[in-house]
C-alpha cells in the first residue's frame, strides 16, 4: 500500500488546503484507495467514507440503488463509474465522488472485459464529471488492484491541481 502514499499525500494536502472532501466507491481495488487516504494524517478533515461495491448485494445495500437506477448501464463502464461517483458523493455529502470499477483478474468479468480493464469516474463541484478507461493488459490481480487505485487517485489529483 505504501506505493500509493505519494499520491495520497498530495491529494490530502490539496483537499485540506481547499477545504474540500471526498467519498469513494471502490470495486476491484478492494479498498486500497481508501486505505491510502486514511493513512494520511488529518484524514478526518477530507475523507467522508467509502463503499466497496463488489457485488449486487453491496450495490443495493450500501448504495441503495435498484436495477431500475442502472437500466441500460453495466458495471465496468465510464457511465456506470460516473453514476457511482455521483451517488457516493451525494450519499456522503462530499465535494468529490470517486469511483473505480473493473476486472482485476486473473480472468475477466462476466461482461466480456478482460483482466486489467478498469473505468474510473470523478464527480465534483459545479457538475464537474470526468471519466477514464485503462487497459493494463495484465492478469496479475494484485498489480491490477494497485494500478486501478493509482489511475483513480491520479484522476482526482489532476482535478485538484
Write down the pLDDT at residue 60: 85
Write down the pLDDT at residue 161: 87
Write down the pLDDT at residue 152: 98
Alpha helices in 2-140 (DSSP H): 5-18, 32-38, 56-61, 78-91
Q: Are 16 and 46 in contact (CB under 8 A)?
A: yes
Write down the pLDDT at residue 99: 97
Residue 120 half-sphere exposure, CB side, CA atoms within 13 Å?
A: 22
> How do residues 97-140 score in pLDDT, each as one tens digit?
999 999 999 998 888 899 999 999 999 997 789 999 999 999 99
Write down the pLDDT at residue 70: 81
Owner of C-alpha cell 482485476: 104
Helices (H) and strands (E) in the chain, counts: 5, 5
3-state DSSP: the chain helix, strand, coil percent, rounded to 5?
A: 45, 20, 35
Q: Are 31 and 52 in contact (CB under 8 A)?
A: yes
pLDDT > 90? residue 55: no
> How do residues 60-103 score in pLDDT, each as one tens digit?
888 888 888 888 888 899 999 999 999 999 999 999 999 999 99
Strand partners, 97: 23, 123
Q: Which domains does the chain have, with CATH numbers?
A: 2-160 (3.90.950.20)
**Nearest of 9, 160, 10, 37 to residue 95 by alpha carbon:** 160
Rounded to whole angstroms, how far apart are CA atoms 146 and 80? Answer: 21
Amino acid at each position: 500500500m505504501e506505493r500509493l502514499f505519494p499520491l495520497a499525500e498530495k491529494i490530502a494536502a490539496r483537499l485540506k488546503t481547499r477545504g474540500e472532501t471526498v467519498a469513494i466507491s471502490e470495486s476491484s481495488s478492494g479498498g486500497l484507495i481508501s486505505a491510502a487516504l486514511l493513512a494520511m494524517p488529518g484524514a478526518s478533515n477530507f475523507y467522508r467514507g467509502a463503499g466497496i461495491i463488489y457485488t449486487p448485494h453491496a450495490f443495493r445495500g450500501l448504495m441503495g440503488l435498484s436495477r431500475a437506477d442502472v437500466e441500460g448501464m453495466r458495471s465496468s463502464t465510464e457511465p456506470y463509474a460516473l453514476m457511482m461517483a455521483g451517488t457516493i458523493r451525494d450519499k456522503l455529502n462530499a465535494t468529490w465522488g470517486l469511483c473505480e470499477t473493473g476486472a482485476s483478474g486473473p480472468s475477466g468479468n462476466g461482461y466480456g472485459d478482460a483482466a486489467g480493464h478498469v473505468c474510473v469516474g470523478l464527480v465534483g463541484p459545479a457538475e464537474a464529471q470526468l471519466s477514464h478507461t485503462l487497459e493494463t493488459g495484465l492478469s496479475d490481480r494484485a498489480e491490477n488492484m494497485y494500478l486501478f487505485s493509482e489511475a483513480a487517485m491520479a484522476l482526482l489529483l489532476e482535478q485538484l491541481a
